[in-house]
Amino acid sequence: MAIIEMMNISKEFKDGLSSRKILALRNIDFKIEKGEVFGFLGPNGAGKSTTIKILLNLVYPTSGKACIMGKDVFDRSARAVVGYLPENPFYYDYLTAEEILSFGAIASGMDKTDLPGRIKTLLSRLNLSTASKRPLRGYSKGMLQRVGLALALVHDPQVVILDEPMSGLDPIGRKMVCDLILDLKAQGKTVFFSSHILTDIERLCDRVGIIVNGTLQLVDDLKHLLGKGTTLEEVFLREVGRQGGDER
């Protein structure tokens, strides 16, 4: 059974008050197997975030079906095994990191007894131990991003979905995230993340999907793609050029 399955997903958005419709996603179809690290690549506005949000049931597809571990994404229990980091996350900033992680864990069904230990380990792994009792108001962008990661991982999910996880991080932070993803892979988790930083994709991914203007142009093994002697950049630019896809 594929861990993540998107079957012919299309999404239309209404353009403001007019009746014009914008086709954001067109027949997106792909599978992600257990233990894979899948990189989702595309220019800005290609539909990466929209695809991810459909998986999280934050956005409803106009047609098609999406499943996580065999459950339709409309089923809320599908999300029990998912850890999600949104792009530019916001949190209730009067809460402390501990309170947010506690909430995330309990809401995802984790046992209360394991909780304090797990939170402590996670916070120290992400270098947030000292700030953990302070409200999120005082956190820097990098710290907030790390809290987001902790929130995505606190309940030890099988599936980790990250939307632009490196955004706003300094090189130390980026290395931390990379190590984290490799760690998850070593634990046998499935990771699905979007990015437009090619070096990170090259370093971490098993398979890659390139989306341009709402269409999934390419899904392939990374080794297979690069084996032909091209760099990922060349592949990317070629795919973008193929669509005539200019930045939206």
Which residues here bind another protein, judged by CB under 8 A? 13, 49-50, 53, 56-60, 76-80, 82, 84, 86, 89-92, 94-95, 99-100, 103-104, 106-109, 135, 151
Cβ 165 to another protein shortest distance, Å: 14
What residue type is assigned to position 91 of the chain?
A: Y
Q: First and final CA of the chain: distance in angstroms?
A: 36
- Nearer Cβ to another protein, position 91 or 203? 91
- Nearer Cβ to another protein, position 60 or 238? 60
Cβ 142 to another protein shortest distance, Å: 18
Query: For residue 169, which phi and psi values (nearest 5 degrees)?
Result: -100, 145
Torsion of CA 164, 167, 172, 175, to 10 degrees: 20
- Helix (H) / strand (E) containing 6: strand 4-14
Cβ 11 to another protein shortest distance, Å: 9
User: Quick one: CA dihedral 145, 148, 150, 153, positive or negative?
Assistant: negative
Cβ 71 to another protein shortest distance, Å: 10
Pick from 125, 146, 247, 156: nearest CA to 196 = 247
Give the Å distances, CA to CA, from 204 to 37, 84, 197, 234: 7, 18, 11, 18
| Residue 225, strand partner residues | none
- Nearer Cβ to another protein, position 159 or 225? 159
- Nearer Cβ to another protein, position 157 or 222? 157
- Nearer Cβ to another protein, position 136 or 232? 136
Pick from 163, 110, 170: nearest CA to 143 = 170
- Nearer Cβ to another protein, position 67 or 201? 67
- Beta strand pairing call for 207-212 and 215-221: antiparallel
Cβ 175 to another protein shortest distance, Å: 25
Cβ 193 to another protein shortest distance, Å: 15
